[in-house]
Structure 1
C-alpha cells in the first residue's frame, strides 16, 4: 500500500507552529530584503563556472515577493522564453518550452535539482514530464536557466534549456510551515463549476558542527477543470425512431474550422499528492563535503467525466444512439471513460566533492529514480454501471526508471585557464504492461493485452576549457563524446512477444564560444555548438503487433541533431542589466509523430530539417525611478520553420508546432516597506500551431493553441519576523485560452506562512 504522509505533514505543521527576475543574481539568505547584486563574467551559485551561454535566474526572495508559487514550476513563469505547460494546479505533466522547442517535445530540455536529474528522458511527450513534485517551493534557494546546448558539460537534450534548482541547507535550527488555498470558477460549454484545493507544507532543519540536515513534507489536494471534451463532427445522419431523445449538447467549430458537437466534459482530475524529502550533508574537511538525498513522491488521482446529455427525465446519458436536434450520434461504452492512478516514486542522490577553489576540484554524483509503484486503471464498460466497478484495463509501469553517474573535475593551472572535464553514465529502463482486470477500480491484473519494454544507456566523456588568452578576451573550447546503446527492446500483444535488435552508436559534439569585454559596462559573446538528442526508449519501442510483425514504431530512428548559434550583448546599467541575443538553431532529423504520405503510416518519424532563428531582449533592474520598485521584462521573436520533410512535403514552410512567433514577460514589484510588497506581472504568447501542417487555423477553441496575454497579481505582508501572509490572482482578466486543453481561468489564492 502507498505510504500516506498526511499524518506526518500534520505533525510537522504542528511542530513548526509551537520582482524583478535577475540574470545571475545572488540568493537571499532569508525573507529579510537584501539588495540584488548582478554577477558579470562568472557563474551564479548553483551553476558551473565559465558557462559560454545566456543564463537567467530567480531567487527565493523574488519567489516570495513577486510570484504566486503553488507548484514548483511556477517559479519559472516570468523568465525569458520559458513556458511550462501547466494546465491546472497539481498537473504532473508540466513540459518545458524554450526558444526553439515547444510543449510537445519534453526531451529537448533538462531539469535538475542540486545536479540530480529530474527530467524524464524515457520518452518525448506529455507523458514524460520532469518530476517537479520531487522539489517543494519552500526548499528552493534559486532557480537558474541555461539557454541552448553551448556547454560540453550537458548532453544534447540541452538544445532547449537546462534548468537547475538549488535547494537550501540550514546553518542553524529552522522550522517552517505554510498553508495555501486556491479556487477558480470555470465556465466553458456546458461546464459552470468552481474547482478548488489546498496545500500544506512543513520543514525542519539544523546544523550541528559538520553535519547539517533538512526534512520537508508536502500535501496537495487539488481539483482541476476539465482537460478534455467528448466531441463529434456535426452529424449529417437523421435520427432513427428508436434513438434516445436528448438535450444539453453544445456546438462550435473545431480547430480546423469544421462544425462539431460537444457532448460532455472529460478528464476532470482530482489529484492528491504527497512528498517527503530528507537531505543530509557532512563537511569531511573545510574543502570536502558529502551529501545524501532521499525523496518520495506519491500521487493518487481520479479522473471524472460529466455528460452534457440529458434524457426526458433529466438523467445523464453516457452511451448508445441518441437523437440531438434531429441528428443521430452514437456513443461508445468507453467515450465517457473515468479513470484512476496510483503512483509511488523514490529518488536517491549521493554526492561527494571538493570545493577548494584551488588548482584542482572534483565531484562524484550518483542518482536513482524508481517507479516503485505506478498503476493506471480505466473501465471497459459504460457509465453509470462502471462507477461501481466491473471489467477494465490496468496499466502497470512498476520497475521503470533511470540511474545516472557523473565524475567531474576542474583544473585551474593559472589565472588564464579553467578546464572542466568528466565522465557521464545514464541508464533508462521502460517497462509497461497493459492487462485486463475483473474490477477496474481495485482488481489485480488478469491477462496481458499488450506490453512495451526497452533500455538505453549513454556513456560520455567531455572537456571544456575557458581560456583568457588576452586582456578582455576569452575563448571557451569544448567537446562531448558519447556512446549510446539501445537494447532489450520488445513489444507484446496478448499472445506474442517480438524483440528488437540492439543498437550501438557514437557521436561527437564540438562547442566554441568567444567573449569580449570592450568596456567595463559591456560584454559581447558569440557561441556555436553541435548537439545530439538520442531517441528515447518510448520513441523506439512503443508499437503494436499485427500479423506477427511490429507496426507503428521505428526502432531505427536517428538521433536529433542541431547546430546552434548565439550572439549576445549585455549592458550593465548600474542598477540593472540589459541584454539582447540573436539565436539560430538548424535542426535535422527532429522527432515528431506524423503520417508518411508514401506509406500512409502514422508514427514517430524523423523530420529532415527545421530552422529556428530569432531575437531576445531582456531587462531587469532594481530601484527603477523609485526606491523599492523592481522591474523586469523580456520579448522574444522566433521564426521556426520546417524547411525539409520528405515524408510529408505539405508541412514544408510551416511553423514548428508549439513554438510561438512572439513571447513576452513583464514584472513590477514594489516593496512599500520591509513588511509590504505588491507585484503585477504579465505573460504573452503569440500565434502557434498544434499540427505540423498548421491546419489548425481556428486557435481559440478546445483543441487549438491560443495566443494569450495573462496578468497576475500578488500582495504579501510580513506580520512580524515569523509570520507572513499573501494573496494572489492568476489570470486577472479571466482570459479563456487553450493549449489543446483549456488553461485555468481566473484563480484566487491565499497563503499563511510561519518561519522560525
Structure 2
C-alpha cells in the first residue's frame, strides 16, 4: 500500500485514544517515499488545495458524507477537529462556526469557498453575517477540505480561524439524482410540549457532452425549528396585585438570579421555507485549458413566531402591560411578544478560466459577484397581526471578488527544486441598510424613513509563495502577502440628519514560513509561523444606535486585528490510518469584538479593539479504514484550547478569562461498521466543554436558556442500498436527548429518514 493511497479519504480527525490503534500495524514493511509524495492526497478528484499547504488540512469526501446525517451543507464540517457549528435548527441561515481560538461571533475570521468562489459574508463579524452555505448542494459535493490558520500566503488574513474549501463533483456522463429527507423532534421544556420538523427535496441533472459538462439542481426546504428565545424577566421585588396572571414558570437565570419565563418572544420559533437553484457549466477549450460559469440562487421566507404563556383570570392570553405574578408586579413592554418576518433573495454568479497541467506553468482566474437582491426584516411594534411596525432593508448589499494565480510545478520533486505560486486578489464589499416605519408591518409599504447605514470596504493583495525542496527529506515553504485595504462611503443617518465618515486606507505585509522534515518514511514534522491582518468590516465601522440608556455606537477608526501564529505538527502514516498531532499558539493584538466599555459613564457598547488575546492549544486526530477489522472505519479527534484575554483596557474584568464561546475541550468520534456489502451503520459523538457567553464569566449558570452548556451528544445513521441506484437511510441526532444551550436551546432528539435515487 503506497502512502498516496493510504492518505485516501483525507485525514478527518481523531481522538487521543484512537491514535493508539495504529501500533496494531507496526509489523507492516517500511516504505520509502519523498516528503512531497507523502503530502499529496489522491481522493479520486484533483486536490482542491495547494499540495504544499504549510498548515494542517483535514478532508471529508462525498463517500463519507453519505454515512452521516447531512441535511444542510454546513453539516459536512461538524465533526472536524476543533470545530463547533452554530446551527440552531435544520435550515438555520445563521450557521457561523467556531474553531480553535475563534468564536462563532467572529465570523470574519473564517473563510468558505465553493469551487473557488467566496461565500463568506465579510460585511460584518457576528452571527448575523454567516457564510452563505446555502449556495452549495450537499449531495453535489465531491469533497470538503479545511485548512487551519493563516499560514499560507494564498489566503487573506480572514483565514486566522480556518478556511473551508468545498468542491462540486462534475458529471462525466448523464446522471439524475433525486433525494427526499424528512425530520422531526419533540420539545418538552418551559411549558412547550409539541413536535417540530420539516422536509427537504432536491433534484439534480448533469451530463457531459463532448467538451461540455453541466450540472443543474433545484431544492426546497420546509422547516419548523424549536423555540429559540424565551421571554424572561428577573424576579421582581415590587409587591402588586394589578391584573393577576398565571402561566409563568419560575427559573434561575444565567447570572444565578431567580427569574420568570413568560413565553416565546424575539426570534421566537422560526419557520422557514427555502428554495435553491444551481447551474454550473465547464468547457474544455483544450485538454489542459478549462472555462467555467456558475449561477446560484437562494430564496427564503421566514416567520418568527411568538407565544405568551400568560393568561388572565378569564383565560385570555396577555402580551403587554402591568401584570401581577405570584403577588409581584411586572411591566411587559408593548413589543415584548412582537412577531416578525424575514424575506431574503440572493444570487451568486461566477466565472473561471484556468489550465490544469501536471507540471510546468498553470494560470487560473476566478471572478464572482454575490448580490443580496432582497434582505428585509419586518417587525411589529406590538403583538398584532398586521398593525404598525418597522422595516429594515439591506437590499443591494453585495460583494465582488477577483483572483488571478500563476503557479509553476517542476517535472519531478527533487532536491533544490521549487514549486512557485504568486497572484493577485481583489474583494469589494458594499453595505446598504435602510430603516423605515410601516403602517402594516406584514404587508405595508414604508411610510417614513427612520435612518440607515451605508459603507464599503475594498482589499487588494499581491502574494507569493515558494515551496523549496531542500533535500529529499527537507522542504522550506516561504511566502508573503501584501494587502492594501480601504474603507469609504461610510454614512450613518437618522430621520432628520446624516453624517459621513472620511475614507481610510491601510497597507500591511504578512510574512509566512514553514519548514517540513520527513523524519522517517512515514513521519512528517512541520514547524510553521505566520503573521496575518484581519481588517474591519463595514458593519464594524459604520453601524450603531442609541437606546436612551447606553450608546450602541460605531467606530470608524478601528484597527485591524494583528495575529502572530505558530504551529508544530507531526503527521504519522501507519497501516490503514493517519495520525496528526499539533501544538499551536496565536497572539492576536487588537482583536475586534463587540463589548461594553465599563470604564466610562454612560457605558458605550460597540465593536472595540481588545488589546491582546492569547491562544494556546493541542490537537490530535486520527482517520483510519479497516481499523483492526476490515469492516470498521474510525475517525476521531480531540482539541484542547486555552484562549485567554491578556489585555483589555475597556473591560478590565475580562482579563485572565477564557475568551467568549471558546471551550477548553472539543472532541469527536465517528465509527462506521460496514455490516454487509449493501448496509452500514455509523455512530458518531460530539463533545464540547463549558463555554461562556460573557467576557467576564458573569454567566455562572450554564444549563439554562441564555447559558452555554458543556454537552456530549450521539448521532447515528443506518444506510441500506437495496439496488445500485437507491439508497435508504434512517438516522437520529442527539440520540440521548441531551438538553443543552449555547445561549439558545439546541435541538432535542431528532429523527431523520431519507431516500436517494441515482440514475
Q: Tell me the TM-score normalized by structure 1.
A: 0.93
Q: Which residue of 1 aligns with 2:219?
A: 218
Q: Which residue of 2 aligns with 1:391?
A: 388
**Rounded Cα–Cα distance in structure 2 between residues aligned with 1:85 and 1:478:** 33
Q: Which residue of 2 aligns with 1:269?
A: 270
Q: Which residue of 1 aligns with 2:418?
A: 417
For residues 65-89 of structure 1, give each alpha carbon's deviation from its aligned partner in whole angstroms, at most 9, with x where no partner exists: 2x10011111111111111100001
Q: Which residue of 2 aligns with 1:434?
A: 435
- DSSP-derived class of the 1:165 partner: strand
For residues 6-37 of structure 1, give each alpha carbon's deviation from its aligned partner in whole angstroms, at most 9, with x where no partner exists: xxxxxxxxxxxxxxxx976269xxxxxxxxxx
**Rounded Cα–Cα distance in structure 2 between residues aligned with 1:650 and 1:358:** 56
- DSSP-derived class of the 1:158 partner: helix
Residue number among 38, 41, 46 corresponding to 1:40 in the alignment: 38
**Rounded Cα–Cα distance in structure 2 between residues aligned with 1:131 and 1:216:** 17
- Residues 647 and 412 of structure 1: is their aligned pair in 2 closer, same or farther, counting only changes over 3 Å? same
- DSSP-derived class of the 2:63 partner: helix
**Rounded Cα–Cα distance in structure 2 between residues aligned with 1:204 and 1:321:** 59
Q: Which residue of 2 aligns with 1:233?
A: 234
**Rounded Cα–Cα distance in structure 1 between residues aligned with 2:610 and 2:37:** 40
- Maintained 8 Å contact 1:249/1:262: yes
Q: Which residue of 2 aligns with 1:633?
A: 636
What does 1:94-243 align with in structure 2 at a 5 Å threshold?
Answer: 94-240=95-241, 243=242
1:726 aligns with 2:729: yes
**Rounded Cα–Cα distance in structure 2 between residues aligned with 1:481 and 1:636:** 32
**Rounded Cα–Cα distance in structure 1 between residues aligned with 2:546 and 2:256:** 35
Offset, 1:632: 1.1
Offset, 1:137: 0.7
Q: Which residue of 1 aligns with 2:51?
A: 49
What does 1:257-656 align with in structure 2 at a 5 Å threshold?
Answer: 257-266=256-265, 267-380=268-381, 382-383=382-383, 386-387=384-385, 389-412=386-409, 415=413, 416-544=417-545, 552-599=553-600, 600-656=603-659
For residues 482-532 of structure 1, give each alpha carbon's deviation from its aligned partner in whole angstroms, at most 9, with x where no partner exists: 000000000011111100110011000000000000111100000000000
For residues 669-696 of structure 1, give each alpha carbon's deviation from its aligned partner in whole angstroms, at most 9, with x where no partner exists: 0111221000000000001111111111
**Rounded Cα–Cα distance in structure 2 between residues aligned with 1:609 and 1:96:** 22
- Maintained 8 Å contact 1:377/1:393: yes
- Maintained 8 Å contact 2:10/2:58: no
**Rounded Cα–Cα distance in structure 1 between residues aligned with 2:707 and 2:598:** 24
- DSSP-derived class of the 2:39 partner: coil
- Maintained 8 Å contact 1:25/1:39: no
**Rounded Cα–Cα distance in structure 1 between residues aligned with 2:10 and 2:341:** 43
**Rounded Cα–Cα distance in structure 2 between residues aligned with 1:291 and 1:408:** 16
For residues 53-76 of structure 1, give each alpha carbon's deviation from its aligned partner in whole angstroms, at most 9, with x where no partner exists: 0010111010112x1001111111
For residues 90-128 of structure 1, give each alpha carbon's deviation from its aligned partner in whole angstroms, at most 9, with x where no partner exists: 000001110111111111100011111011010000110
Moved more, 660-669 or 437-446: 437-446
Q: Which residue of 2 aligns with 1:251?
A: 250
- Maintained 8 Å contact 1:554/1:604: yes
**Rounded Cα–Cα distance in structure 1 between residues aligned with 2:137 and 2:249:** 40
- Maintained 8 Å contact 1:205/1:212: yes
**Rounded Cα–Cα distance in structure 1 between residues aligned with 2:505 and 2:288:** 40
- DSSP-derived class of the 1:61 partner: helix
**Rounded Cα–Cα distance in structure 2 between residues aligned with 1:464 and 1:475:** 10
Q: Which residue of 2 aligns with 1:744?
A: 747
Residue number among 680, 685, 691 corresponding to 2:683 in the alignment: 680
**Rounded Cα–Cα distance in structure 2 between residues aligned with 1:531 and 1:24:** 31
**Rounded Cα–Cα distance in structure 2 between residues aligned with 1:578 and 1:192:** 45
Paired residue total: 717
Q: Which residue of 2 aligns with 1:709?
A: 712
- DSSP-derived class of the 2:464 partner: strand
Offset, 1:471: 2.0
- DSSP-derived class of the 1:227 partner: coil
- Maintained 8 Å contact 2:236/2:330: yes
Residue ranges of structure 2 left out of the alignment (5+ in a row): 1-5, 12-35
- Residues 140 and 670 of structure 1: is their aligned pair in 2 closer, same or farther, counting only changes over 3 Å? same
Q: Which residue of 2 aligns with 1:64?
A: 66
**Rounded Cα–Cα distance in structure 2 between residues aligned with 1:633 and 1:180:** 27
- Maintained 8 Å contact 1:24/1:56: no
Offset, 1:419: 0.7
Offset, 1:43: 5.2
Residue ranges of structure 1 left out of the alignment (5+ in a row): 1-21, 28-37
**Rounded Cα–Cα distance in structure 2 between residues aligned with 1:682 and 1:40:** 30
Offset, 1:719: 1.1
**Rounded Cα–Cα distance in structure 1 between residues aligned with 2:492 and 2:10:** 50
- DSSP-derived class of the 1:157 partner: helix
RMSD: 1.6
Offset, 1:566: 0.4
**Rounded Cα–Cα distance in structure 2 between residues aligned with 1:413 and 1:720:** 45
Q: Which residue of 2 aligns with 1:31?
A: none
**Rounded Cα–Cα distance in structure 2 between residues aligned with 1:442 and 1:462:** 50
Offset, 1:598: 2.9
- Maintained 8 Å contact 1:493/1:545: no
- Maintained 8 Å contact 1:185/1:193: yes
Q: Which runs of 4+ in 1 moved over 2 A?
A: 22-27, 412-415, 544-547, 597-600
- Maintained 8 Å contact 2:10/2:41: no
- Maintained 8 Å contact 2:39/2:51: no
- Maintained 8 Å contact 2:7/2:41: no
- Maintained 8 Å contact 2:552/2:605: no
- Residues 57 and 26 of structure 1: is their aligned pair in 2 closer, same or farther, counting only changes over 3 Å? closer
**Rounded Cα–Cα distance in structure 1 between residues aligned with 2:75 and 2:443:** 34
- DSSP-derived class of the 1:447 partner: strand
- Maintained 8 Å contact 1:43/1:51: no
- Maintained 8 Å contact 1:71/1:137: yes
**Rounded Cα–Cα distance in structure 2 between residues aligned with 1:674 and 1:286:** 37
- DSSP-derived class of the 2:461 partner: strand
Offset, 1:544: 3.4
**Rounded Cα–Cα distance in structure 1 between residues aligned with 2:93 and 2:358:** 39
- Maintained 8 Å contact 2:176/2:204: yes
For residues 177-197 of structure 1, give each alpha carbon's deviation from its aligned partner in whole angstroms, at most 9, with x where no partner exists: 011110000111111111010
Offset, 1:444: 1.1
